[in-house]
Amino acid sequence: MSSHVVIGFGPAGATTARLLAAQGHAVTVVTRSGGRPEPGIEHLACDATDTRRLTEAARGAAAVHHCAAPPYHRWAQEWPALVASACTAAEATGAVLVLLGNLYGYGPVDGPLTEDLPLAAAGPKGRARAEGWRTALALHKQGRIRAVEVRASDFFGPGVTDGGHLAGRVVPPVLRGRPVTTLGDPDAPHSWTYLPDVAAALVEVAGREDAWGRAWHVPTLPAASVREMVGLLAVQAGTGPVAVRGIPAPVLSAAGLFSPLLRELKEVRYQFDRPFVVDSSAYEAAFQVRPAPVDVQVKATLDWWREHAPAAE
């Protein structure tokens, strides 16, 4: 077994670190605040933009899994430094750099999202994410690092509490049988990436040389609307039919005057106003990870919320 560094301990970083540890790897998690040790996991209090300390942490590691992200409203300002530091650490140590990406870099497109689409985002957050991958890919092509990016759609699953999608604004009301409000069109097809599948893909590509040097979409089930997903959650929860209402654009704009998060979401509102469908067939043709069945996803999510709801709300 080998050692791995995971930057960030949010839902994706924590799930990835625990999967690596369960497989017998030694894991060092890098966060600003540190954390309590877990079996197989050491926590290091370190600002990931401190390149010297991050490089020290990555010495001897097979891979550095970059799962951290700045606060949403500071992505454009802080994302470049995080990626640059990770690239420097990967170059100095020889560790494979595995970037957890998202789909913002493509910007609005017609039809399913595939990895060969241009990174043509016009908004600041999308441009920042796209430029981070361009930086890593350029270094990979120069032979200075080995890099791969794994791109996920909106997270869904155990431990995902933030956001107004299938997380804190949706699951708790479903468990109580209360109406759900959501961004955009609640009937627009949308791809939801299950968090354990994200971690499984990050771990798999780290050890696959044939994965390096390009981006991949995490294996994701066929798209389903918010209304459809709420229906599945409600059936599994036993709470009966749950009403789903979209937040009208004028209301969302007005709320953005008081909520920084809602104000920032204006850039990606297109993802919820119309179909937003991910094609992950390239990954599934090349590697082993497959998306968990939807009933597994729904049950695991509800079980987690039932156990953690008082702390998560």
Which CATH number do you get for residue 230?
Answer: 3.90.25
Q: Which residue has the tokens 């981006």?
A: 215
The whole-model pTM stands at 0.94
Mean pLDDT of the chain: 93
Which tens digits make up the pLDDT trace of 74-120?
A: 888 999 999 999 999 999 999 999 999 999 999 999 999 999 999 99
* Residues 99 and 228 both lie in one domain: no
* Residues 111 and 243 both lie in one domain: no
Least confident of 17-31, 45-59, 170-184, 210-224: 170-184
**C-beta separation of 106 from 121 below 8 A:** yes
Helix (H) or strand (E) holding 33: none
What the block records as the tokens of 146 is 């080995």
* Residues 196 and 307 both lie in one domain: no
Instruction: Give the SS3 label for residue 227.
Output: helix
Residue-number span of the structural domain to which 268 is assigned? 156-189+223-276+293-312
* Residues 42 and 150 both lie in one domain: yes
- Place 200 in a pLDDT band, splitting at 50, 70 and 90: very high
* Residues 87 and 201 both lie in one domain: yes
- The CATH number for 137's domain is 3.40.50.720
> How far is 113 from 153, CA to CA, in rounded Å?
10
| Count of C-beta atoms within a 10 Å radius of residue 168 | 17
* Residues 168 and 131 both lie in one domain: no
Q: State the average pLDDT over residues 10-38.
A: 95
Q: State the average pLDDT over residues 1-29.
A: 97
* Residues 132 and 212 both lie in one domain: yes
What integer pLDDT is reported at residue 261 of this predicted model? 62
CA distance between the termini of the chain: 38
Query: What's the structural domain count of the chain?
Result: 2
* Residues 57 and 124 both lie in one domain: yes
> How far is 163 from 160, CA to CA, in rounded Å?
8
Q: Which residue has the tokens 């595939």?
A: 114
> How far is 157 from 192, CA to CA, in rounded Å?
9
* Residues 93 and 142 both lie in one domain: yes
* Residues 27 and 173 both lie in one domain: no
Which tens digits make up the pLDDT trace of 267-307?
A: 888 898 999 999 999 999 999 999 999 999 999 999 999 99
* Residues 239 and 197 both lie in one domain: no
* Residues 16 and 76 both lie in one domain: yes
- Place 156 in a pLDDT band, splitting at 50, 70 and 90: very high
Instruction: Give me the helices (H) in 163-268, please.
Output: 171-176, 195-206, 226-237, 249-255, 260-264
